[in-house]
Amino acid sequence: MFFSFFGTVIIAGIVGYASERSKFTHNGYVPSIIICVGGAFLFFMVSRMFNISFGSPGLNAIISSIGALVIVPTHFRK
């Protein structure tokens, strides 16, 4: 469990960086990484409490990070 938590945080950081680099979001690098790590951390805790999963912990991290980026927009687009 300990290693899957750190793997989740690292994968979420990579997803946040990649989403900003590919112009999927326009929040800035640090806010996108923070949003992804927060969403992945929240889903990690909820999945451990209620035994919810999409598959492997890596897939859970990717899906929850992208979901957090979609749900939490910090920069309003014109």
pLDDT at residue number 77? 58
Query: What is the 3 state secondary structure string of 37-67?
Result: HHHHHHHHHHHHHHCCCCCCHHHHHHHHHHH
- Helical packing angle, 29-50 and 57-71, nearest 10°: 120
Nearest alpha carbon to residue 41 among 73, 75, 74, 16: 16
pLDDT at residue number 72? 84
- What's the pTM? 0.86
Domain layout of the chain by residue ranges: 2-69
Per-residue pLDDT of the chain (78 residues; tens, 9 = 90+): 778 899 999 999 999 999 999 988 888 899 999 999 999 999 999 999 999 999 899 999 999 999 999 888 766 655
pLDDT at residue number 2? 79
